[in-house]
Amino acid sequence: MSRLGDIPIRIERPDFAAMAGTIGGGVTAILAEIAALLDRLAAGDEPQAIDLKSLPMNPGDREQLIEALGSGEVAITLYADGESTIRETGVHGVWWTEHRDGDGEVTAAFIEIARVPGILIVDSDELQRGAERLRSAIGATRSSE
């Protein structure tokens, strides 16, 4: 299936760059919220996230936000039913996460305020299943010997 972006059409759009900060100008508000969430995380609260899809932002705002946060030291690519990218921004503990499906369409995008992005953490079930899998692999090797 061809992607929508592959279809050669011209979309007339308003000049969002010129509009940035003038309308929908919530960039400052988002930065303030991130700062508050960092404080709470440091104080021992649970990690939090800001959903980027539900904010009525225009591309101009988005670019401003990216620019304001800057880029950091860690970049993670998750290969699970489509590629997801998790990048630490210039601010430690602030992660820019974008989940994509098999077609490369963004299904979720959010800023996570956490020491480590939650999705990376492996849970106990998986550890056990992993261990079982290794043991059964060992058993198979032994039996084949």
Partner 1 sequence: MPEYQARQTIGELLDRQGISRRAFIKYCTAMASLMALPPLAGRAMAEQLRAARRPSVIYLSFQECTGCLESLTRSFSPSIENMIFNVISLDYDDTLMAAAGHRAEAARDQAMKANYGKYLVVVDGSVPTADGGIYNCAAGRTAVDILTETAKGAAAIVCVGTCSSFGGIPFADPNPTGARPVSDLIGDKPIINVSGCPPIPEVITGTLLQFVTTGQVPDLDEHRRPKVFFGNTIHDRCYRRPFFDQGKFAKTFDDEGARNGWCLFELGCKGPTTYNACATTKWNGGTSFPIESGHPCLGCSEPGFWDKGSFYAALSTGTFGRAGNLTPRDAAKLGGAAAATGIAVAAGATALARHRRKVRMTDIQTADTQKEE
The H-assigned helical ranges of the chain are: 16-19, 27-42, 59-69, 124-144
Q: Does 119 bind partner 1 (CB under 8 A)?
A: yes
Q: Cβ of residue 92: shortest distance to partner 1, in angstroms?
A: 19
Chosen residue from 6, 8, 43, 54 binding partner 1 by CB under 8 A: 54
Phi, psi of 125 (to 5 degrees): -55, -45
Piece in contact with partner 1 (CB under 8 A), picked from 26-34, 35-43, 74-82, 133-141? 74-82
Which of these, 76, 75, 80, lies nearest to 101 by C-alpha position? 80
Length of the chain: 145
Phi, psi of 81 (to 5 degrees): 50, 55
Q: Does 48 bind partner 1 (CB under 8 A)?
A: yes
Give contact residues for partner 1 (rule: CB under 8 A): 1, 4, 12-14, 23-24, 47-49, 51, 53-54, 56, 58, 78, 80-82, 84, 97, 99, 101-103, 105-108, 110, 112, 118-119, 123, 125-126
